[in-house]
């Protein structure tokens, strides 16, 4: 046994892949990676550019299935925000 030094650490989410890499509004996108934690309304969110997604089919520590929100057409970054921080973006093309 021993005594912990009670240090806190945060896991910043990391996106490894998104699939598909293009699609239309309301279609599902799978975001794979790690550090996503569990879904907590208001604290965990997927951003398409600056727009928050509002519909999720699945949220696990390593996979999120999210519906493309109403955003303009074009190439935009998808990012995951958790209590640990915000991920780097992976690009998705809205067609």
**pTM, entire model:** 0.89
The full length of the chain comes to: 95
Higher per-residue confidence, 85 vs 10: 85
Contact 91, 23 (CB under 8 A): no
Contact 23, 68 (CB under 8 A): yes
What distance in Å separates the CA atoms of residue 56 and residue 59, rounded to the nearest whole number?
7
pLDDT at 1 over 80: no
Residues of the chain above pLDDT 70, percent: 94
Q: What is the pLDDT of residues 12-42, one digit of tens each?
A: 999 999 999 999 999 999 999 999 999 887 7
Q: Strand locations in the chain, DSSP E? A: 14-19, 22-23, 28-34, 45-48, 51-52, 56-59, 63-67, 74-82, 85-86, 90-94
């Amino acid at each position: 046994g021993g005594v912990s030094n009670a240090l806190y650490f945060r896991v910043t989410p990391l996106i490894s892949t998104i699939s598909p890499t293009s699609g239309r509004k309301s279609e599902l996108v799978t975001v794979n990676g790690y550090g996503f934690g569990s879904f907590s309304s208001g604290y965990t969110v997927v951003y398409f550019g600056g727009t928050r997604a509002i519909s999720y089919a699945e949220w696990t520590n390593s996979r999120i299935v999210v519906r493309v929100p109403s955003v303009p057409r074009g190439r935009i970054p998808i990012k995951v925000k958790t209590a640990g921080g915000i991920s780097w973006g992976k690009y998705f093309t809205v067609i």
